[in-house]
Amino acid sequence: MNSSISRRQFLKRAAAVSSVFAVPCIIPAAALGRNGAVAPSERILMGGIGINGRGSSDLSWMMGEPDVQFVAICDVRKDRREAVKRTIDSKYGTKDCTMHRDIREFLATRTDLDGVLIATGDHWHALASILAMRAGKDVYTEKPSCMTMAEGQAVVETARKYGRVYQTGTQRLSEANHVFAIETARSGRLGKVHTAYAHIAPWDAAIMRYDRKPAQPEPPRNEVDWDTWLGPCPWRPYHSSYVHGDWRGYYDFHTSCIGEWGAHTFAQAQAGLDALDTSPVDYKYVDNPTGDGMVTTFANGVKMILSRGDTYWHGSCGERFDGPEGWVAAADGYSKPAASSPALLADFKKVVGQYVARTQRPMSHVRDFFDCIRTRRETVANAEVMYRSMSTVHAANICMWLKRDLKFDPVKAEFLNDPTANRLRSRAMREPWII
């Protein structure tokens, strides 16, 4: 023992050292999955791609799930990257959210992600989904989820090839009012349904614009990556209004007033008709700018009519089913569905409860997605559901563009005896942004 250290000092130092090892390390309960928290090893790790507007609502909805954690954001706009990072870091009380400009670098480096939320502009939905699924991510994407029939087919094939979970954001398929209307129709409580009505957006037109906005100086790439924002679309000069949402109504970026709400309501109507695995075979041209009143007919003779107004519902994104025993309708803003008689509504809780028991699905679209990530089952709005309902959207658009009736074969995915219509099933994609 060093003579300069007394026995008393030695014993005090030894006691201090031993106390360090005697006191256990304090680990937050959340890190261990206690007190209702989910341990980090059990959390679903998510990243966002193009989060703004509707995507911000999706992000908030998803971050409310206790077993989900967002850890990364990819966006071509620096201001959106930074804004979303602030939102995510504030939610979790960390500074861990990483920011990425290039989707390829993002998918290649964040190999830890289980899934991604895609809420870009419409023209990026399918391509971003395909790239993400190829990179091993499950996908929740906003609608309309494909710009063409060919894109929709590619999403289906990619999900199948890579075994990925896919959910398109037609969230009304997981809302009680719409589920009741759908189940009432498909269960025979209206008799054999002969007609469904589907809401299309009461703005814009079916015929879209091909002109371009005047050129503006292009910002630095780190501020706005304009080339990547355009993605697969034809090159055009930069204009700031495009990247701030003013792209609707332009052919390169949009699916018209029919796709704007039809991406929701066609799936809702087709669900009630037990037609989520097909599309109508006959499309009747209507001589107006929007497609309002177009009659589409399935192979079994049941009709689905496009409606722009509020004749069949109040509110937005509605669907209605008519049968010999009555009708039922639902739309946003309803406290409960509308029906031809109070008797049809008497079993509201029973019908919704039977649906939940039969399908084992929650009345939450994002929860269905996360449950399916864990179980690997198909989501309620899986790639095939998206492709079939969006094929209806695109066929109706093509009918309006060509101003003539069309016959469509859903099995072969082609129009009958109409080469011009068949050419419109796909679009050229600008390299390197190709499927």
Residue 24 has pLDDT above 80, yes or no: no
Whether 246 maps to a domain, the answer reads no
The SS3 call for residue 104 is: helix
Question: How does pLDDT run across 203-232, given as a tens digit for each residue?
Answer: 999 999 999 999 999 999 999 999 999 999
| 197 and 334 belong to one structural domain | yes
Residues 62 and 103 in one domain: yes
Q: Is residue 214 part of a domain?
A: no
Residues 202 and 115 in one domain: no
Q: How confident is the model at residue 430 (pLDDT cuts 50, 70, 90)?
A: very high
The CATH number of residue 395's host domain is 3.30.360.10
Among the listed residues 153, 117, 145, 151, the one whose alpha carbon sits nearest the alpha carbon of residue 132 = 117
Q: List beta partners, residue 117.
A: 48, 140
- Is the CB of residue 48 less than 8 Å from the CB of residue 119? yes
Rounded Cα distance between 282 and 299, Å, is 8
Kindly state the average pLDDT of the residues 96-108: 98
Residues 143 and 262 in one domain: no
- Domain span including residue 370: 172-207+254-423
Residue/partner pairs of 9-17 with CB below 8 Å, 24 or more apart:
none
Judge if 93 and 199 occupy the same domain: no
Q: Helix %, strand %, coil % for the chain, to 5?
A: 40, 15, 45
Confidence grade of residue 41 (pLDDT, cut at 50, 70, 90): confident
Higher pLDDT, 429 or 41: 429
Identify whether residues 97 and 66 lie together within a single domain. Answer: yes
Residue pair 379/366 in contact (Cβ under 8 Å)? The answer is no
Give dist(CA 391, CA 393) in Å, integer. Answer: 5
Q: Are residues 317 and 189 in the same domain?
A: yes
pLDDT at 28: 46
What does the buried/exposed string (b/e) look like for 409-430 if buried means 16 or more CB atoms within 10 Å of the residue's CB?
A: ebeebbbeebeebbebbbbebe
Q: Is residue 287 part of a domain?
A: yes
The pLDDT of residue 429 is: 97
Tell which residue, 177, 330, 178, 196, has the closest CA to residue 270.
196
Measured CA to CA, the distance from residue 300 to residue 261 in angstroms comes to 25
Show the CA angle centred on residue 129, arms to residues 127 and 135, nearest 5°.
105
Per-residue pLDDT tens for 250-308?
999 999 999 999 999 999 999 999 999 999 999 999 999 999 999 999 999 999 999 99
pLDDT of residue 106: 98
Regarding whether 55 and 156 lie in a shared domain, the answer is yes
Query: For 302-358, how does the pLDDT look when each residue is reduced to its tens digit (9 = 90+)?
Result: 999 999 999 999 999 999 999 999 999 999 999 999 999 999 999 999 999 999 999
As a whole number of angstroms, the distance between CA 252 and CA 235 comes to 10
Ordered alpha helix ranges (H), 3-45: 7-22, 29-32
The rounded distance, in Å, linking the Cα atoms of 183 and 186 is 5
Q: Is 389 contained in some domain?
A: yes
Asked whether residue 168 carries a pLDDT value surpassing 50, the answer given is yes
Is residue 386 scored above 70 in pLDDT?
Answer: yes
In the prediction, which pLDDT does 9 show? 54
Residue 16 phi/psi, 5° resolution? -65, -45
Q: What does each C-alpha distance from 183 to 18, 176, 186, 312, 355 come to in angstroms?
A: 68, 10, 5, 18, 7
Question: Do residue 335 and residue 302 come from a single domain?
Answer: yes
Same domain, 71 and 147: yes
Residue 430 belongs to some domain of the structure: no
pLDDT tens by residue, 233-254: 999 999 999 999 999 999 999 9
Greater confidence (354 vs 36) lies with 354
- Dmax over CA atoms of the chain, in Å, equals 106
pLDDT over 90 percentage in the chain: 90
Boundary (domain end) residue, out of 117, 148, 171: 171
**Residue 180 sits in the same domain as residue 167:** no
Residue whose C-alpha is closest to residue 171's, from 364, 321, 386, 336: 364
Q: Are residues 195 and 121 in the same domain?
A: no
- pLDDT value for 38: 82
Where among 119, 144, 171 does a domain terminate?
171
pLDDT above 90 (res 165): yes
- CATH number of residue 150's parent domain: 3.40.50.720
pLDDT band at 1 (very low <50, low <70, confident <90, very high): very low
Express each pLDDT in 391-427 by its tens digit. Answer: 999 999 999 999 999 999 999 999 999 999 999 999 9
232 within domain boundaries: no
Q: Tokens 């011009």 correspond to what residue?
A: 420
What's the chain's average pLDDT? 93
Amino acid at 65: E
* Cα 211 versus chain centre, distance: 28
Sheet containing 319-323: give its strands across.
338-339, 326-330, 319-323, 195-199, 303-307, 295-297, 282-283, 406-409, 414-415
Distance between CA atoms of 290 and 389, rounded to whole angstroms? 18
Mean pLDDT value of segment 96-114:
98
Last residue of a domain, one of 144, 171, 198: 171
> Structurally, how many domains does the chain consist of?
2
Does residue 435 belong to any structural domain of this protein?
Answer: no
Residue 386 lies in a domain: yes
pLDDT band at residue 39 under the 50/70/90 scheme: confident
